Amino acid sequence: MTGLLNVLEVLFLLAVVGGLAMWSVPAGLILAGVLGVVAVEREQARRKGAKT
């Protein structure tokens, strides 16, 4: 079930970033960069939590 939720989250974010990029390319790129950083931080926190 967690895998399905991750896929849905990614598809939703792609739709939001794609829609924003159709309106304003620089804003889409900025949002994509911020979301990329958030995704990396979440994954690092998940891995750090699993080690302890």
Task: Judge contact between 31 and 20, C-beta under 8 A.
Answer: yes
Q: How many other C-beta atoms can be found within 10 angstroms of the C-beta atom of residue 37? A: 10
Percent of the chain whose predicted confidence (pLDDT) is above 90: 46
Q: Tokens 């979440």: give the residue.
A: 42
**50 or 28, which is more confident?**
28
CA neighbours closer than 13 Å in the CB half-sphere of residue 21: 12
Q: Tokens 């699993």: give the residue.
A: 50
Backbone angles phi, psi at 16, to 5 degrees: -65, -50
23 confidence band (pLDDT: 50, 70, 90): very high
Is 60 exceeded by the pLDDT of residue 52?
A: no
- Computed over every residue of the chain, the mean pLDDT equals 87
Instruction: Give the global pTM.
Output: 0.73
Is 60 exceeded by the pLDDT of residue 32?
A: yes
C-beta contacts of 3-11 below 8 A and 24+ residues apart = none
